[in-house]
Amino acid sequence: MAKPASVRRYSKHDAGAKPMNHHFTARDGARIHYKDWGCGQPVVFSHGWPLNADSWESQMLFLSSQGYRTIAHDRRGHGQSSQTWDGNDMDTYADDLASLLEVLDLHNVVLVGFSTGGGEVVRYIGRHGIRRVAKLVLVGAVPPLMLRTESNPDGVPLEVFDGLRKGEIDNRAQLYRDIASGPFFGFNRPGAVPSQALIDRFCEQGLQASHRSTHECIAAFSATDFSADLQQVTVPTLLVHGDDDQIVPIATSARLAVKALRSATLKVYEGAPHGLTDTHKDRLNADLLAFIAS
C-alpha cells in the first residue's frame, strides 16, 4: 500500500514565520519541493515543461504583496524535487498536487496552471474534485488535447512531438536553447528583441530537471485527453492565452476549452507568445488579481 503524504500543517498564527522553501513526501516516497510565500487566501501554481516553480516568481511576488498566500511546487523530476524514474504522467502529477493541498490543509484555493500545468490542475479536478477549489485559472494551457487524432483533426501532428523527443535525446541543452530563443517567447518574430537573460533562465530551469522526466513529460502534455476532466470543472474559470502562441496554439486549446467549461471567461492577449508569464507579466498579474478578488 502506498504511504500517505507526510503532513506539516501551519496555522494562521505561525503562517508569517513559515519557511519560504519546503518539501513534502508524496505517497510513493518522492520528495516534492515547494515555495510558500505570504498569507491569506491560497493561490497554488503549477508550472510548464521543462520549467519549475521559479517560473512563477513574478506572479507570486505580486500576489503575495497583495495579501495572498502563494504556493508553487516543482513537479516531480523537475527543479529540486526527486528525479523519479516512474510517475511522469498526468495522473501522478495530479495526485502529487492533491498531496500538496492535503499536506498544507488548503481550502478555498485558486488553482493556476500554465501550459503542462494547466493539464495538471484540470486533471486534479477530474480525479479529486473541487472540494478544496474556489477558482481555476488556465494560462497558455494544453487542455483539452494537443495531439492530432481522428477525433481531434485540428491538433498538433505527432511528428512535432516526436521531433521534441528526438531533440531531447540528441542534445536537450540545444533543444531548450532553440525553444527559448525562438517560439517560446516569440523571439523568432520580425522586430522582436530577444532577452538573453530570459533565454538563459529557461535553459537553466530545463537542465535542472531530469532527462527521463522531461522526455516522458512530452507524452504527458501532448497525448493526454482532458475532455472528461473539463466536464468536472464547475468553479469560475479564467483562461488567458496569446493569439501568437506557437507552442500551444490557441485554436486547438483555449478556444475549445472555454466551450467545454460551465463558467469560463477567455482573455486573448493579442500578439502574445506562449511565455506570456514573463513577456506580459504586468497585464497577467493585473488580470489574476482582478479575477481572484472578484
3-state secondary structure (DSSP) of residue 72: strand
How far is Cα 253 from Cα 294, in angstroms, rounded to an integer? Answer: 25
CB atoms within 10 A of CB 42: 22
115 catalytic per annotation = yes
- Catalytic: 128? no
Catalytic residue among 36, 274, 278, 287: 274
Please pick, among 74, 96, 229, 245, the residue that the annotation labels catalytic: 245
Alpha-carbon torsion, ordered 68, 49, 205, 135, to 10 deg: 0
Residues 252 and 76 sit within 8 Å (Cβ to Cβ): no
Q: What CA–CA distances, in Å, run from 225 to 122, 169, 283?
A: 11, 25, 30
Q: Measured between alpha carbons, how far is 35 from 5 in angstroms, rounded to an integer? A: 17
Catalytic residue among 82, 115, 181, 210: 115
**At a CB cut-off of 8 Å and minimum separation 6, what does 247 contact?**
115, 140, 179, 183, 184, 273, 274
Pick left, alpha or beta for residue 144 (phi over 0 → left; psi -120 to 50 → alpha; otherwise beta): alpha
Q: Is 35 helix (H, G, I), strand (E, B) or coil?
A: strand
Q: Is 245 a catalytic residue?
A: yes
> What residues are labeled active site?
115, 245, 274
